[in-house]
Amino acid sequence: MTNLQERQAYANAQGLLWPVALVMAAALLIRFHGLGAPSFWLDEAYSAWFSARDWTYLWTEVPQFETHPSFYYSLLKLWRVFGTDEFTLRIPSVLFNVATIPLVALSARLCSDRRTGRSAAILAAILFAGSATQVYAAQEARPYALMTLAMAVALTSALAVMTARARAGAPMHRLLARDRKMALAFAGIGIGIALLAWSHNFGPVFGLILGACLFAWWLSEGAPRGLLVNLLLSAGLAALLYAPNIPILLMQTRSLGAEGFWLEPPGPRAVASAILELPLGHSRSEGAVILLFAALSSLVALSGLAGMMSQKERPPLAVPVTLVVLATVPAILSFAGSHMGQPIFLFRTFQASQLPVLISLAFAPLALRPLLPARWRWTAPAVPLLLAATALWSAPPGKPRWSDENWRDFTRRMAEAPVPAKLVVYPAEAEMPLLYYGDRLGLPLDIAAVPGHYPVRGAEYSYPAGGGGSPGMTPGILSGTMANLAGDARVWIVTRGLDTYDPAGLFMTRMQREFPCLLDDTMPRIELRSRVSPDGSCPGS
């Protein structure tokens, strides 16, 4: 058996079972801490609303105005039998995220030799469990934890193949008969890539990048025919599993941003900051502090690649190259695409790139240990652990990411105001969290969404934020809104994203003219306004 074969066999040993199980248990405690405390923000309210639709509407109507696949919402719909509160609807993300931990540990072990395998795997698991970015993803009812799990399935499977070249080139029928673990690895590549695509519309980009890395590795190995056939079978499996959504993706690609989009093209600093933030995790720090700390983390991650290749039985060069490519290229492609076509650059859409960075960080002690005095070399793992602990401390679990989106409190305060008033909501999508909390808390709300209840669809509208559910403001919409409010003396005005939906300021200018008396503006983007009294004065709040 070759060294690479020994590494593969060692990767499948049971020596990591209890250490990884303990890390998973700790990760569960971290992620369940304060899970239901933060209010849903707008995107989570989307998840709650979409998952409450019937199956036909979810798969035929929702894709026409929602830019994400319906797969995650379908899983969440099945989960709703356990409850619809914030805590319960966020649990699937916790489970997806914690299920990623053993795959991260296995990936690190596949990249290591017999001497360093256990410690690298455990360290990688701990770093993932303590990543502030991953904790945030786990505590949101959004598809990003599922996307990261899919990435882990695909990456771990790819590493299993790349670190066992001699076995990977055997005919598939022989693998199915004699080496089912290797056959499972090829299947895992296809399943992981398909799940990436099903979880988010940026997922196919990750799949294509990983496929390109595997193709380059195949060329570097001398382009053996048997290996190519097996890789093509993986690609075919991914295409087969994802095929039902391809027409939907093409439809969404054509309609997304056809009349505008809420994102702006990013500058070079934005992509640099995102790449630097990958090893650090989401932090509440800003400015020079986060850039300095993230740069230090990136340097430690790069040292980890050197440590990985310093092992006596190091993996093929294609392994660290693949890790670097998966860590950086998704963000770079997102940046380029945002300037060449549709702006799509958002850190959360490519935060799955953190996986290869954390795997690299797990090997940093190998590079740092020779730099330390002999008596202190045992402390080398403390460096990446300290970085992860600092990042988690700066953004503790259970805290809201968006302080201006406490819709639970906003809804309660407006519903329980001493003098009832209609809620005028623009754009229409902003009624999602109000509807959710009005129903869950049993609060009476008189909502007038502009120009109608979400989704508002029709050829007469334009959609400057992308999708097709919230129209941009026009004089016609404004006239209809004022007619509907003719009998109201006071109103709550709830807005969001007016720079995108109403850049000319038509809506607020008219509302302020019709309701000139400002009675309450203590909530972000929410104002209580009234008309003047018959004597020309403003009433009390």
Residue 33 DSSP code: T
Amino acid 267: pLDDT: 80
DSSP string, 115-127: TTHHHHHHHHHHH
Bridge-based pairing state of the strands 447-449 and 422-426:
parallel
Whether the pLDDT of residue 223 is over 50: the answer is yes
DSSP-derived secondary structure for 199-218:
H-TTHHHHHHHHHHHHHHHH
State the pLDDT confidence band at 5, using cuts at 50, 70 and 90: very low
Quote the pLDDT of residue 398: 66
pTM for this model (two decimals): 0.93
Cα 189 from Cα 168, distance rounded (Å): 13
Q: What is the pLDDT of residues 39-59, one digit of tens each?
A: 999 999 999 999 999 999 999
**Band of pLDDT at residue 484, cut at 50, 70 and 90:** very high
85 vs 54, 313, 398, 441, CA distance in Å? 19, 50, 15, 10
pLDDT given at position 8: 47
Write the DSSP string, 227-262: HHHHHHHHHHHHHHHHGGGHHHHHHHHHHTTBTB-S
**Spatial separation of the C-alpha atoms in residues 72 and 34, rounded to whole Å:** 23
What pLDDT band is residue 275 in, cutting at 50, 70 and 90? low
More confident residue, 464 or 153: 153
Between 540 and 128, where is the model more confident? 128
Q: What is the mean pLDDT of residues 11-37?
A: 87
Which range (95-104, 332-341, 355-364, 502-511) has the least confidence? 332-341
Round to whole Å and give the CA distance between 539 and 270: 47
- pLDDT band of residue 264 (cuts 50, 70, 90) is confident
Average pLDDT score over residue span 392-406 = 74
415 Cα distance to chain centroid: 32
Q: Is the pLDDT of residue 23 over 60?
A: yes
Q: Which residues make Cβ contacts (< 8 Å) with residue 107, sequence separation at least 6?
A: 124, 152, 155, 156, 159, 355, 359
pLDDT at 11: 47
Predicted pLDDT of residue 282? 57
> Whole-number mean pLDDT of the chain?
89
**Average confidence (pLDDT) over 312-324:** 93
Q: In what order do the strands lie in the sheet with 490-495?
A: 447-449, 422-426, 490-495, 526-530, 517-523
Let me know how long the chain is: 541
pLDDT of residue 296: 80
Angle (CA) 46 48 52, round 5°: 115
pLDDT in tens, 366-385: 988 888 888 888 888 888 88
Neighbours of 250 (CB within 10 A): 10
Q: pLDDT tens digit string along 435-462?
A: 999 999 999 899 999 999 999 999 899 9
Residue 1: pLDDT band (50, 70, 90) is very low
pLDDT for 344 equals 84
166 vs 187: CA distance, rounded Å: 18
Question: pLDDT-based confidence at 273, cuts 50/70/90?
Answer: low
Pairing relationship of beta strands 490-495 and 526-530 according to DSSP bridges: antiparallel
